[in-house]
Every structure is written in structure tokens, then in C-alpha cells.
A and B are shown apart, each in its own frame.
Chain A
């Protein structure tokens, strides 16, 4: 009897790995754009006054905009001659989330720096790494507009499988492939945070070392 995994075509694994690479690519682009915008917004928020109020409103709107809807908006509202690829559309749809998150984390970090705690300020680095993994997971939304990322590859294969059992095995493989780097990344982030926290506590016992809450962006 063949195991369900043996019934997968030989090109499935290369396609799937290529798909996951696209997930990382999308997350990388979104993070780079989000960092640029988020840092500007963080400075504006710290400055206060009219720029601060405007930045606050923008961050509020970005935080509230659902990624999936932003993606469809960009897909349909942008002129066709703008020439944006599917990958770029998904990446841009993740920018509001990334920018809002980095603006919030950036404000915290800059406040810590002004308070004379550079170590606490460095905590923004693991938080950015955490945001990157969140963006990798969220980039699976691209499957809905035909971007051949990891989940899209799994779903295409699942449509050809005859039984629910086979499909569930395939889905489990997908979850494991996404989960291993994600959980490893989060474990690494926790280690770094703990390490930075210990250093901070040794030097300045009153510095906050908590993580910023990062729900998986949907």
C-alpha cells in the first residue's frame, strides 16, 4: 500500500519549496517598505503636534485595514499599466500592517533610547524579526489572486487528491513546512530577547523587556 506522501508527484516538493521562497520574498519586500514608512511615521508620532496627529490617524487606519481587502483593492483599483506583479501586489497589501506595527514598535524603541536605555531600544530588532515571520504567514493570501506561493501549491495539489484523508495528510505536510521555520524563528527571537533582557536587567534593572503583542496578521 502506498503512503499518501508517496502518491504526490515528484515535482511537488520542488514546487512547494519554490512557493515558500516566494512567501519569504513577499515578506522581505513588505518588511523593507514597511520599515521605511514605519520609521517615518514613528518620528512623526514622537514629534507630536499636527504631524503627530496626522501620523496617528494614518497608523490607526493602517492598523484597521484588512490585508485581504487591501490586496483586492490594489489588484482592481490600480491602473493596469502600473505593471505590478502579483508578488508586488501581495507585498504592498502587507505594507499597512508592517508600517503600523513598526511605527508602534519604533515609538517604544525611540522612547527607550531617549530614556537612556539603548539595550531596551535594541529589542525592536527581535520584534522586527517576529513581524517578518508574521508577514511570511500572511503572504499566503496571495493564493487568492493566483500568486504561486506555498499555500497555492498545496491547494493545487489537494484539488487532485481523491479523498479527504489524503488531503489532510498533504495539509499536515504544509503546516509542518510552514511551522518548522516559524517556530524555530520564534524560539530564536525568544532567546535573543531573553539574552537582551538579562543584559538590560544587569545594567538597568528598571528597563522594560516585554515583547510587543504580535497577532498573526489576517
Chain B
């Protein structure tokens, strides 16, 4: 505590000159007067200063809005701010979900969950009643835009794309991340363990692109509620969805005893949303409320009451308790708030033309044609690589089929049992194995020898398709060879000439199995080969236009197989002519 006793003498170095004494005395006196004046000033009441706390700012904002609402005729004016209108009607319309356990569920008589509690806290703060509106993921933003609801609190992730469609309240009221969930005994602690595993996801989930890049094999579903069911019946090895979604299922001891969280990624903040137009005061009021709810632990208490994860909210409570954030400008301070997730995919140079074509096509024919593979750079890249890899795969499968056909044909037609019997055994085994199983076996063996890569998967698929079809074609060659040999019994035999004639005799079968190999190439997607089916499945997992995409895929493969059929027929005619000349 400051003392009125002057102590400033220590600041001036002592001087021993006699003629300086009167000046020193004057200086000391002046300093002491200043110090005493300062002490006196500190003891007096300070002049009125503006309170920059969020509480005061909210109180001022609500007072102004109430005054506006109370002004005669104001409530009947069109285009008034939604906050004023809410105060005029004494009711706020809040869009919530009906079916998101722990966050917002609706039975005949009650609504409950974290988001419902937040909605009620807001209504209490405003002093109004609530009219709840049911919203779904697809209707959240349109209902705000057409003024069917004032506010949505509906598990809505804040991303750069949605920021252009709705005004998000900052700070965010929750944060989720995508969680990979699988059987407890499944070792999947690292991204490397995920490669090649079947992961069930919902179509359009923004985190699917990440899973694709990690080499997971995606199985698409329309609704998240299908995922736990498919985990239960072992259709999926893993399922990926918001941790908030799985929180409800992990509350069930039976589910928790069978499954566990494996890897969390793609964190996304959740924001309440208001319309971009006509909600300036409402948005500002909610920003300030959100700050206060974090600082005072209101969000945290609601989360605890509803048994959802509280890690993010505890962290936010600390942030909004800091002096630099606990101000009326905190909700715009980048040091205090979280940025929206970046959901923008880089467009292709011709994305505009593609969109124009889609619009023209829809207008001309009445059919919606969506070409997502042409509109964003990642999708275009996946598409191009898919087409290229499919063509490589088809060429490889045809070559391998022909090569294995010759090999098996020669071995099964050989006089030595050491060659003949193993070749027959392998052929019977390959004939008995469904192609999908053959493919998985080939992939398992090759992956045990060399590290996994998409090219290795492509190679494994070529070998499997070649073996499966080549062994059958080889059997046809050997049967033709044996009949030719029987026909020429007792005559001198040139084995190479006989084998060549056997090829001619079995050419129909060889061509049939070559065509079959080409038709079988899309199955390679099952082991993660990056061919077109695999690429388009990945593209549709994070974009729209599934019907168009899979129609184009069917057209592509049918056209390619027809081209292969045409080439094989030419090859067959060439062989027939060669043998006729011979």
C-alpha cells in the first residue's frame, strides 16, 4: 500500500556541492507534492468508464432491443431484426434434431439432450418461450434462409462452405471429431493398420476423403444409424462417424464391451446458426451469450447432465475465462475463437463449364446430371487415375490370362506327371474358388512378400484374374492338344506344331476366358486396386451425383468389354486364317 511519506529522495544521487542544495530542496518538494497528489487522486472515485465485459454488452443490446420492441408500431414493421421480433412475439423458433441421441431426441411428450438444454438456456436469457422445429441435416440451413426458424442448434459443423450460407455463432458450443470404431480385439491403433480394411461410412461425410487417402475400403450408407448395426453383424470391420454419434452407443454396456474407439481425426467445431440476413442483433446477442455460457460453465453443466464428452468444453471454459477473451470483442478475436473447418475442394479449371452443362442438360431434358468427378481437383485426379488404372488392369489381365493359358496348357498336356498333376490340381482348386476369394488369397500372399501399395494391389489383381481365367483356358488348350495327339497316334509328332494347332482348336474357349478376364477387372477394387470403380466410389463418398456416376461407370466398363470382345474376335479370325493357310 502506498504511504504518503515521501521516499523519492532515493531516486536522486546525493550531491555534495553546497550551491546545489536550494535547487535540490525545491526538486524534492515538487516531487513530494506530485506523489501526494497521485495518492490523493487514487483515493478518490474514478470517473465513469465503459464496461467492456460481455455481460454488460449483452445487457445493453437486450435493453435496446426491448426498447425497440416496445416502440409503438415497431413490431408490425416488416424487415425488423429477428431479435426485436422475438421480443415482440415473446417466442423464439429453434430448429433442433429429433433423432440424435444425447444431443436432441424427441418423444411424444418431451425433448431432451444437450442441444435442447442449450436452447432452453438461451430462451431463459432472452425471457421468451420456445417453439421447437424439427430439422434434418439437409433442412437446417434452408429453414433458416426461408425464415421458418430463427435459430438452429442441430449438430451443425462449422465449415467454410456453410459459412457462406448461414451466420455461425462464435464461440462454438461443441466440437466433434470423426471416430473410427471397431471390435475391441481388432488391432487398429495407427493409420497403417487401416489400409485395406472395410470402413462403413455415410455418404457425403467430409472426412471420407481422409479415409480414402489412407487406403481404407469404403462401404457407403445413407444413414448413420445403419453403422452400429453393420458393425454388429460384422459387415464392416470399422465404422467412421462423429464421436458425438457413437457416444450414445458407448453408453450401452453391451456395445461398449464389444467395440472400442480406434482413431479420432477431422475435428470440427459445431455452431449454432442464424440467417445471414436480418439477424445482426440476434447473432450478436447469441455470440455474447455463448461467451458467457462457456465462461460460467453453463455449456459444461449441460454436457455433464447429458453424459456427452466434455473435454472441449472444459478447454473452452478456460479460454473464455481469460481476461483478453472475456470482453465484448472476444467473439471476433482470432486468438479466442476457432476457425471453421476448411471444406473447400479446389475446383478444376473447367468446373464452371461443367456446371453450365449440368444446368443446360437439366433444363433441356428434365434429368439431373451431376458430374462431380469433373468439378473438383481431387475428384478429377482420382477419376483420371481410375480410368488409366482400369485400362492398365484390363491389359494386364488379358496378358496374364493368355500367358497362364499357355503355361497351364503346356503343363497339362505334358507327358510328365510331375508337370501334369500339379497343373491339374491347381486348375481344380482355382475352378473351385470364387473369384473374390482367389483375389483375396493372391493379395494376402503378395502383401506378405512386399509392402502394400495401390500398385501392388493392381499387380495382385492381375495375377489372380490371369490365374483364374488362364487355368481354365489352359485346360481347354490341353484337352485340344490331347485330342490332336490321339488323332495322330502312331504318326511322327512335332510338339510345337501340335501345340499351335491345339491353340487354334481351343480358340473359342480362350477368347471366352479373355473376355471373362476383362469383365472381372472391376472386382480388383475389392482389394484396394485404384481402378475406376474404386475411384468413383471414393468420389461419391464425399460428393453428390451417385446415380450419374454409377451410370457412367456401367457405360464405361460395358464399352470397354465390348471393345475387348471385338478385338478378341479379330484375334480369333486371325488364328483361324493362319491355321487355314497352314
Contact = CB atoms under 8 A, between A and B. Distances in A.
B428 A179 contact: yes
B561 A66 contact: yes
A39 B444 CA distance: 42
Contacts of B429: 175, 179
Interface string B508-521: 11001101110111
A55 interface: no
Query: Interface range on chain A: under 10, 10 to 19, 20 to 34, or 35 or more?
Result: 35 or more
B51 to A, nearest CB: 56
Interface in B561-582: 561-562, 565
B520 A155 contact: no
Contacts of A175: 429, 432-433, 437
B88 to A, nearest CB: 43
B487 interface: no
Interface SS majority for chain B:
helix
Given A61-B558, A68-B522, A216-B468, A73 B551 contact: yes
B474 to A, nearest CB: 13
A146 B519 contact: no
A215 B550 contact: no
B441 A168 contact: yes
Nearest to B508: A213
B341 interface: no
Interface stretch (B108-116, B227-235, B408-416): B227-235
B516 A215 contact: yes
Interface string A104-120: 00000000000000000
B468 A171 contact: no
A203 interface: no
Contacts of B444: 158, 164, 167-168, 171
A69 B533 contact: yes
Contacts of A24: none
B435 A140 contact: yes
A65 B558 contact: yes
Nearest to A177: B432
Interface in B166-190: 185-186
A122 interface: no
A152 to B, nearest CB: 8
A64 interface: yes
A43 interface: no
Given A76-B549, A167-B444, A218-B465, 19 more contacts: A64-B561, A65-B554, A68-B522, A70-B554, A76-B220, A77-B546, A140-B434, A143-B436, A144-B525, A150-B434, A155-B440, A179-B432, A183-B432, A215-B516, A216-B435, A216-B468, A216-B472, A218-B435, A218-B516
7 contacts: A66-B557, A67-B519, A68-B522, A141-B436, A159-B197, A171-B441, A178-B437
